[in-house]
Amino acid sequence: MKAVLFEAEYAPREGYRLTEREETTHKIRNGSQVWRNPSFSVADLPIPEPKSDEVLIEVKACGYCGSDVHCYETGTEGYVVYPATVAAPIVLGHEFSGVIKKLGSSVTGFRVGDLVTAEEMQWCGECKACRSGLVNQCRTIEEIGFTVNGGMAEYTTCKARYVWKINDLLTRYGDEDKAFEAGAMVEPTGVAYNAIFNEAGGFRPGAFAVVFGTGPIGLCSIALLRAAGATRIIAFEVGKTRAELAGRFGADMVFDPVALAREGRALSDLILEETDGEGADVLVEASGVPALVLPASTPSLAMDGKVVQIGRAPRPVKLDLEDFIVRGATLSASIGHSGFGTFGNVIRLMAAGNIDVTPAITGRYKLENALEGFERLGSREDAKLMIRM
Amino acid sequence: MKAVLFEAEYAPREGYRLTEREETTHKIRNGSQVWRNPSFSVADLPIPEPKSDEVLIEVKACGYCGSDVHCYETGTEGYVVYPATVAAPIVLGHEFSGVIKKLGSSVTGFRVGDLVTAEEMQWCGECKACRSGLVNQCRTIEEIGFTVNGGMAEYTTCKARYVWKINDLLTRYGDEDKAFEAGAMVEPTGVAYNAIFNEAGGFRPGAFAVVFGTGPIGLCSIALLRAAGATRIIAFEVGKTRAELAGRFGADMVFDPVALAREGRALSDLILEETDGEGADVLVEASGVPALVLPASTPSLAMDGKVVQIGRAPRPVKLDLEDFIVRGATLSASIGHSGFGTFGNVIRLMAAGNIDVTPAITGRYKLENALEGFERLGSREDAKLMIRM
Amino acid sequence: MKAVLFEAEYAPREGYRLTEREETTHKIRNGSQVWRNPSFSVADLPIPEPKSDEVLIEVKACGYCGSDVHCYETGTEGYVVYPATVAAPIVLGHEFSGVIKKLGSSVTGFRVGDLVTAEEMQWCGECKACRSGLVNQCRTIEEIGFTVNGGMAEYTTCKARYVWKINDLLTRYGDEDKAFEAGAMVEPTGVAYNAIFNEAGGFRPGAFAVVFGTGPIGLCSIALLRAAGATRIIAFEVGKTRAELAGRFGADMVFDPVALAREGRALSDLILEETDGEGADVLVEASGVPALVLPASTPSLAMDGKVVQIGRAPRPVKLDLEDFIVRGATLSASIGHSGFGTFGNVIRLMAAGNIDVTPAITGRYKLENALEGFERLGSREDAKLMIRM
Amino acid sequence: MKAVLFEAEYAPREGYRLTEREETTHKIRNGSQVWRNPSFSVADLPIPEPKSDEVLIEVKACGYCGSDVHCYETGTEGYVVYPATVAAPIVLGHEFSGVIKKLGSSVTGFRVGDLVTAEEMQWCGECKACRSGLVNQCRTIEEIGFTVNGGMAEYTTCKARYVWKINDLLTRYGDEDKAFEAGAMVEPTGVAYNAIFNEAGGFRPGAFAVVFGTGPIGLCSIALLRAAGATRIIAFEVGKTRAELAGRFGADMVFDPVALAREGRALSDLILEETDGEGADVLVEASGVPALVLPASTPSLAMDGKVVQIGRAPRPVKLDLEDFIVRGATLSASIGHSGFGTFGNVIRLMAAGNIDVTPAITGRYKLENALEGFERLGSREDAKLMIRM
């Protein structure tokens, strides 16, 4: 079968201390410290065989994620820029959907022919975090498309316990193409869902919201905020395509923070103005540059307001805690999309028509041309690119 | 000015023990024990003068509530059937909107000409409940339209702290008639909002919901459930008009429980079927007959499901707690619509178009013909009737 | 090895519909419908061998649970009275502690010699409930001591993911006997913990509490309420030994509801009196007779009060929902002790000395005399009886 | 009567923009920008007369707060350092207790002779924050001892709705001195309570906690954490007296962060070590230097951990949000002690003996010598100093 294969030279940087597990498995916790001179190819690999607790999935759609691109791009001395866990060689791809082709011997609850998607986070179910229901904090996590082969391939296998049926999406859309594309969007939507509703505890309907960054996660956040009763959504985005999509996803207004800076307009003043002085009840940070946007916006938090940090935060963020103190405000942060029934809820929201995030898909590639997508994503012009089989 | 005046004979039933406050103020805790031979009229009364902390409101719309009708209807020996607090004589009406005509000397934050509505529950702000933010549990509550003169009148006065601006509803609808009618619906919508989001703690978007009874409170519940991310709403209602409205408000299906009983179909089986066996995450009881519907439906609760009891429950309800135990389910109950910023959130939801509950209005009366509405409501055919000035 | 073996005649009652799984596995969902003429013995069985994901535990202490006794007692036509899931023959015992003797090949995180206890509920980790963190609602639950062999034996095996270390209890008590007995109490304490803190959401420190029934679960509830900041605890219990223990566990006063009934004193009046008219913030039902105690006590709920239903509720309970409505009160119910990090928290509370529930142990038996304990428990005089190896 | 009077020269700094309210009332939002050359005296003032909704209190004890000292100390150009709202001249003191001597004409629920304390925050009960139960965020707050005359006096008046009875403290201690001193500690205890339980939502019993800074607020935090089920409390404090008190209040260990810095030991490493690698579930910041302690400690947060920011944060804090992201952690911040029934709960905890915070009092002054206390507090050696009448 064809598959997008990430290969790289194993060359631990001086000073990076490999754990025993890293040495044995080459599942490196910080890829940017070990993997040099990456090469990407659409390789020919054998179709995997599902183990007893796995299913074999014929992949139909698989999104590109920013993380994938970070394995493609290189920084100093030819090392990849991806700073999180990744093994090599590995088949990339963790936002996928497809059809079950084969069931492992002990799998129940699924049938050949089921339309499905899967969680990227392969929680162990055994560690203290997992036993406590905090599976996104699993201490021995495996990740599809990073430490086990992923979905940028004609076929992939996955433990049944990470797999979710999306047959209802076909019922909703009456169209396989759209059903599979929506299915491949469940994972990123789940990331936004988990951040807003599980970790930050949601909000009371009627809330005013702000979203920083309207890439795929920001767009999904807008859709979810609207679907859960936000009454005003103010988005900030520099990219033109993404800004246009923000409106389509439910943002009431979209501003370009760079243009505002040029005009000397403070973000917090603008937000206060656009919320009739009441401030933002929910402030979703999905821009990846919290160090820029949070200090500029926390003075506009409403009483009892919430900052929801989703994007990773590579640099420390200078917060004026007085903004939080006088308002009784909170900041919550999260990672992942697993647990809490999140995939189930996201699929229900799509299947019932409460949200439709497929318009975030701004480009599609055949598997054989998958490498073109990596090139194009580098420009950060697009929202979601997708490989279609 | 014209006003709907409720008068009745003060005749405490034998055995009813009057408190000192009841004797002094005639604010009777259980009207059905004291008020006999009620008479209703559109009387001519002086326009009230606002005290220093009050505003004078020219009323534009005022809904009839089931409670009002219970003062109209009589039971044994000519006593009214209303079992809660009511004084006489009193101007009825607590779901109203209008325009501010005059401000008390110490009132700030309002202007003459502001469109407004008001909370019915006049919490004291001093008792332990109020100090704890539990204003719906105020120990010395006064109630507009029951213990102080209400909104079925050309003018009414109200303490500024219970008044909320609805100018934004005019902006939304561009139509005074609709703005005032929506404004008069804030109170019943607030009752449903308080029950679902404040007291029961809301639900995760994606939830499956059941609503029993689609009178005004049930209809508002449906609108709110949909606006907050419920993905399937199953309604039960015996009245034809109300059942039709339920669909218009967002119910995916509406069943007649009487017809089902005739067919021998168990409510819980039906609910399980219509939720793909997953059960109801939220079960809103707004029928007024929890003794009938709850025992019939709790076997269909989802894991971690919630029963939201809104309707009053005059008779004890026989619950099979095992249904709750094995599911880790909860039952929460509530009264009122005050506190928690509820009126503010409801007005935002209306002003932003997330909900529109005005289609619940199925009949309108001029103030001078207001008594006709009491007659018609007795039939329980309608959803909301409204007096329009 | 020696083990307490429950055997019974497989004789499905007429009308009881066996599922396919029940027919195949003899894991009967409602034991009272199938198991007739039970026989109990201290049998000689081979020491079990741990599978790859299991550990072998040398058992040191194992409590008797009410459920165990329900397998011992028979009702009509010689059927056992236990109405929940149980297989036969089976080694009973699910509240145990011991020492790890052997590790399955894939087990990590444990060492031979570790002192441990284990969850009774063997959640699958695969069903929708488990994926959502609601492991007590697992759809394909197995139960130690009911569907797989349990801890009333010299040795038992258990999947590592249900096992928790209690080495810290030895550090605390400096005494193996007490450490193992405390360890065997983690499970019942966890049941109370899960009910109060996970399912009912806990309470604000300062709360007034009521506990109905001070058997082992009620006693553990008292200890936990006190440890979490309850400032007044009113207990109700008919048994003399249990009533005395209640005081020792932290109850401020203990009443005999039967004596009160004789005196014509209403429970709710008493509770209101003893809480200075403020009512009970938390009302824990652990008596097993909610149909008696809840209707008698809900009028004494505080504003925003909570009923925590722990005991099973074999008969429907007639609740006056008005009591809940006017107070904005809730009722929550729960089953189990797994998930949410509960065992970990209970062990910490014991190891730090915040609670000590071992005084609940009112009788000890050697394994070879274990059957005597079943006889004695029938009298409901004791709190917790324990088998000591 | 005698009273501690704060006077100062009204000299707005250049560039400070006075609001109209500030000009009219001299209630200055940022005292350090307006009040120069402060003078403190024990003055002779007329005994105030309670208004209709007020009570007259004979003060028996009144604590010194850090805020009071900030009015005493001056910085550049002779301006006081207090950066929050304060008027002059004003009678200071907001942590007081005493006996009711007279009731305003409309006051109910109190009697002459009642022992009482009062909230410092005099929420208006009318603004949107107050209507939402968020009284600590009141938009037009008045503050006893800052904008209205306070408790460092023989008598003070206070609106009844801010007053709480502490008669139960006399019952507990059987000693007026201790009852009044405990009563004067309700306010600072309430600040810690509000931060931990209301704003941060509390924690599950069993939690591991860290407290930075064991001045009065930190000590109260330790007492509350222990009373609510924390099983390990690690405190950090530089002052010797305060460090010793920390242990007495329930800290399991107390470290000097300056000494640790000298040894080159990272705070987070130490915390992880002392929590067996599990990290801190709750991290209370009461040191006033969050910019130092938070960045040094967030790597030791447990999964799902919470930072509770109580101390004011005059300088921005550089947070590594990755520490929060990977753990699903939150930061919450708060101000005040009002609402949520907090004073009531704190008084219950004291009256029942769950906490005793009076050992925090390390010095006592007679009213006539009150100025000595201001001098002594400047050294930051003490925990709580108190004026006793």
Q: What is the ipTM of this complex?
A: 0.96
Q: Which residue of C has its CA nearest to A160?
A: C126
**pTM to 2 decimal places:** 0.97
Q: Determine whether the interchain pair C321/B326 forms a contact, defined as Cβ–Cβ distance below 8 Å.
A: no
Separation between Cα atoms, residue D297 and residue D280, nearest integer Å: 9
DSSP SS3 for C273 = helix
Q: What is the pLDDT of residue D213?
A: 97
* Alpha carbon of C307: minimum distance to chain A alpha carbons (Å): 24
**Minimum-distance CB partner of D344 among B128, B135, B339:** B128
Flag whether D325 is in a domain: yes
Rounded to the nearest 10 degrees, what angle do helices C216-227 and C240-249 cross at? 20
**Minimum-distance CB partner of C344 among A126, A128, A161:** A128
Q: Determine whether the interchain pair B339/D125 forms a contact, defined as Cβ–Cβ distance below 8 Å.
A: no
Q: What is the pLDDT of residue C370?
A: 96
Same-domain check for residues B274 and B156? no
C354 touches chain D (CB under 8 A): yes
* Beta-carbon pairs below 8 A across chains A and C: 44
Which conformational region is residue D107 in: left (phi greater than 0), alpha (psi within -120 to 50 degrees), or beta? beta
All residues of chain C having their beta carbon less than 8 Å from the beta carbon of residue A132 are 133, 339-341, 344
For chain B, list the contacting chains (3+ Cβ pairs, <8 Å).
A, C, D
Residue A311 pLDDT > 90, yes or no? no
Which ranges constitute the DSSP H helices of D93-185?
A: 128-131, 167-173, 176-184
Q: Determine whether the interchain pair B137/C332 forms a contact, defined as Cβ–Cβ distance below 8 Å.
A: no
Flag whether B146 is in a domain: yes
Q: Determine whether the interchain pair A133/C340 forms a contact, defined as Cβ–Cβ distance below 8 Å.
A: yes
All residues of chain D having their beta carbon less than 8 Å from the beta carbon of residue A326 are 137, 335
Same-domain check for residues A118 and A267? no
For residue B89, say if its preceding peptide bond is cis, omega within 30 degrees of 0. yes
The DSSP bridge pattern shows strands A280-285 and A301-309 to be: parallel
Q: Determine whether the interchain pair A332/D335 forms a contact, defined as Cβ–Cβ distance below 8 Å.
A: no
pLDDT tens digits, A313-336: 878 999 999 999 999 999 999 999
Q: Which residue of C has its CA nearest to B295?
A: C316
CB atoms under 10 Å from CB of A105, counted, come to 9
* Alpha carbon of D218: minimum distance to chain B alpha carbons (Å): 24
Flag whether D310 is in a domain: yes
Same-domain check for residues D173 and D193? no
Same-domain check for residues B53 and B179? yes
Q: Which residue of C has its CA nearest to D353?
A: C231
Q: Determine whether the interchain pair A126/C339 forms a contact, defined as Cβ–Cβ distance below 8 Å.
A: no
* Beta-carbon pairs below 8 A across chains A and B: 74
3-state secondary structure A126-150: CCHHHHCCCHHHCCCCEEECCCECC
CB atoms under 10 Å from CB of D53, counted, come to 15
A interface mutation test: which of D123, D134, D203, D319 has the most A CBs within 10 A?
A: D319
**Minimum-distance CB partner of B197 among A205, A224, A227:** A205
Same-domain check for residues C117 and C145? yes
Catalytic residues of A: 67, 70
**Minimum-distance CB partner of B319 among C278, C304, C319:** C319
Q: What is the pLDDT along chain C (389 residues), one digit of tens a residue?
A: 999 999 999 999 999 999 999 999 999 999 999 999 999 999 999 999 999 999 999 999 999 998 899 999 998 899 999 989 999 999 999 999 999 999 999 999 999 999 999 999 999 999 999 999 999 999 999 999 999 999 999 999 999 999 999 999 999 999 999 999 999 999 999 999 999 999 999 999 999 999 999 999 999 999 999 999 999 999 999 999 999 999 999 999 999 999 999 999 999 999 999 999 999 999 999 999 999 999 999 999 999 999 999 978 878 999 999 999 999 999 999 999 999 999 999 999 999 999 999 999 999 999 999 999 999 987 777 899 999 99
Q: Determine whether the interchain pair C324/B331 forms a contact, defined as Cβ–Cβ distance below 8 Å.
A: yes
* Alpha carbon of B287: minimum distance to chain A alpha carbons (Å): 24
Token look-up 């599990």 returns D278
Q: Determine whether the interchain pair B125/D128 forms a contact, defined as Cβ–Cβ distance below 8 Å.
A: no
Q: What is the pLDDT of residue D312?
A: 83
All residues of chain C having their beta carbon less than 8 Å from the beta carbon of residue B278 are 128
pLDDT tens digits, D259-274: 999 999 999 999 999 9
Q: What is the pLDDT of residue C279?
A: 98
Q: In chain B, what percentage of residues exceed pLDDT 70?
A: 100
Residue B380 pLDDT > 80, yes or no? no
Mean pLDDT over residues B204-220, rounded?
98
- CATH number at D370 reads 3.90.180.10
Catalytic residue among B41, B52, B67, B105: B67
B6 touches chain A (CB under 8 A): no
**Minimum-distance CB partner of A341 among C109, C125, C131:** C131
DSSP D178-212: HHHHHHHTHHHHHHHHIIIIIIS----TT-EEEEE
Q: What is the pLDDT of residue A378?
A: 77
Same-domain check for residues B164 and B255? no
Flag whether A159 is in a domain: yes
Mean pLDDT over residues A154-178, rounded?
97
Flag whether C342 is in a domain: no
Catalytic, B70? Answer yes
Same-domain check for residues B116 and B70? yes
Q: What is the pLDDT of residue D145?
A: 96
Same-domain check for residues D172 and D267? no
DSSP B152-214: SBSEEEEEGGGEEE-HHHHHHHS-HHHHHHHHHTHHHHHHHHIIIIIIS----TT-EEEEE--
The DSSP bridge pattern shows strands B208-212 and B121-122 to be: unpaired
Confidence of residue B129 (pLDDT cuts 50, 70, 90): very high
C169 touches chain D (CB under 8 A): no
pLDDT tens digits, D294-349: 999 999 999 999 999 997 887 899 999 999 999 999 999 999 999 999 999 999 99
**Minimum-distance CB partner of A325 among D128, D324, D333:** D333
> Within the 208-227 window of chain B, which residues sit less than 8 Å (CB to CB) from chain C?
none
All residues of chain D having their beta carbon less than 8 Å from the beta carbon of residue B339 are 131-133
Query: What burial letters (b/e) apply to D319-353, b meaning 16+ CB within 10 Å?
Result: bbbbbbbbbbbbbbbbbbbbbbbbbbbbbbbbbbe
* Alpha carbon of A291: minimum distance to chain C alpha carbons (Å): 33
Could you say which DSSP state residue C162 is in?
A: G
For chain D, list the contacting chains (3+ Cβ pairs, <8 Å).
A, B, C
- CATH number at A317 reads 3.40.50.720
All residues of chain B having their beta carbon less than 8 Å from the beta carbon of residue C321 are 290, 309, 313, 316-317, 333
Q: What is the pLDDT of residue A200?
A: 97
For chain C, list the contacting chains (3+ Cβ pairs, <8 Å).
A, B, D
C134 touches chain B (CB under 8 A): yes
Same-domain check for residues C177 and C289? no
For residue B290, say if its preceding peptide bond is cis, omega within 30 degrees of 0. no
How many domains in chain B?
2
**Minimum-distance CB partner of D328 among A199, A304, A312:** A199
Flag whether D61 is in a domain: yes
B204 touches chain C (CB under 8 A): no
All residues of chain C having their beta carbon less than 8 Å from the beta carbon of residue B200 are 330
Asked if D188 contacts D216 with a C-beta cutoff of 8 angstroms, the reply is yes
Q: What is the pLDDT of residue C85?
A: 93
Separation between Cα atoms, residue D234 and residue D91, nearest integer Å: 38
Confidence of residue A185 (pLDDT cuts 50, 70, 90): very high
Same-domain check for residues D40 and D151? yes
For residues B247 and D378, which has the higher predicted lDDT (pLDDT)? Answer: B247
A197 touches chain D (CB under 8 A): no
B84 touches chain A (CB under 8 A): no
D313 touches chain A (CB under 8 A): yes
Range of the structural domain that residue C127 is part of: 2-185+357-388
Q: What is the pLDDT of residue C311?
A: 79
Residue B381 pLDDT > 90, yes or no? no
Tokens describing residue C69: 């006794």
Same-domain check for residues D134 and D157? yes
pLDDT tens digits, B281-311: 999 999 999 999 999 999 999 999 999 999 7
Same-domain check for residues C204 and C181? no
Q: Which of B72-76, B132-136, C140-144, C241-245 is least confident?
A: B72-76
Q: What is the pLDDT of residue D178?
A: 97
Flag whether D338 is in a domain: no
B128 touches chain D (CB under 8 A): yes
Low-confidence ranges of chain D (pLDDT < 70): none
Flag whether D341 is in a domain: no
